[in-house]
Amino acid sequence: MISWPSWLSKLTELLAALLKAAADRVAPWIERRKPKLYVHPILGNMLWCIAQQPRKDGPPLEMMQITFWAHINHDDSKQALVIVDAYPVGTKPQITAMQKFKIPPGAMVKEQVSAFVVPILAEQGKPWTGRIVLVDQFQRKYKTKKMTFEWAGP
């Protein structure tokens, strides 16, 4: 029977300790990966219009308002997501228009998503097609598939 030299055993232990330390550092990154968010809009209630915010001096600020209902879920089996904001791609939110909502692991929630944004991306009186960005509690952004919003009037 061949026996291992003592230095080889110590080298093996040292390598095992180094690999464990590296794995312990990488594991949280892998576990905290950005989950996939699935947005299933409920057809027939995706609307947009022009909203106005009065200003002390000058004309009111015109904003694009979008709203829709959707079933939303994600693929993280351990952590809940909290959606804190939403806006169309290419715009900036102006007013907090929606309640934050929680999506527990393994669950699907039905929620209303709304936003007041500038600039106005669509032509009044016509449908607008675009993507919506949803923002979670860690400021991670999720883009939806393209959705068509019907004009709801002034």
Per-residue pLDDT tens over the stretch 69-125: 999 999 999 899 999 999 999 999 999 889 999 999 999 999 999 999 999 999 999
Residue 48 and residue 115: Cα distance in Å, rounded?
Answer: 10
Q: How confident is the model at residue 4 (pLDDT cuts 50, 70, 90)?
A: low
Whether the per-residue pLDDT at 150 is higher than 70: the answer is: yes
Whether the per-residue pLDDT at 136 is higher than 90: the answer is: yes
What is the pLDDT, as a whole number, of residue 3?
Answer: 62
pLDDT single digits (tens) 15-43: 888 888 877 787 666 666 799 999 999 99
What is the pLDDT, as a whole number, of residue 28?
Answer: 65
What is the pLDDT, as a whole number, of residue 2?
Answer: 55
Residue 77 and residue 103: Cα distance in Å, rounded?
Answer: 11
Report the 3 state secondary structure along the chain: CCCCCHHHHHHHHHHHHHHHHHHHHHHHHHHCCCCCEEEEECCCCCEEEEEEECCCCCCCEEEEEEEEEEEEEECCCCCCEEEEEEEECCCEEEECCCCCEEECCCCCEEEEEEEEEECCCCCCCCCEEECEEEEECCCCEEECCCEEEEECCC
**Which residue did the predictor score with more confidence, 3 or 110?**
110
Residue 67 and residue 87: Cα distance in Å, rounded?
Answer: 10
Strand 61-74 to 37-41 pairing: antiparallel
Structure tokens at 14: 């040292």
pTM of the model: 0.79
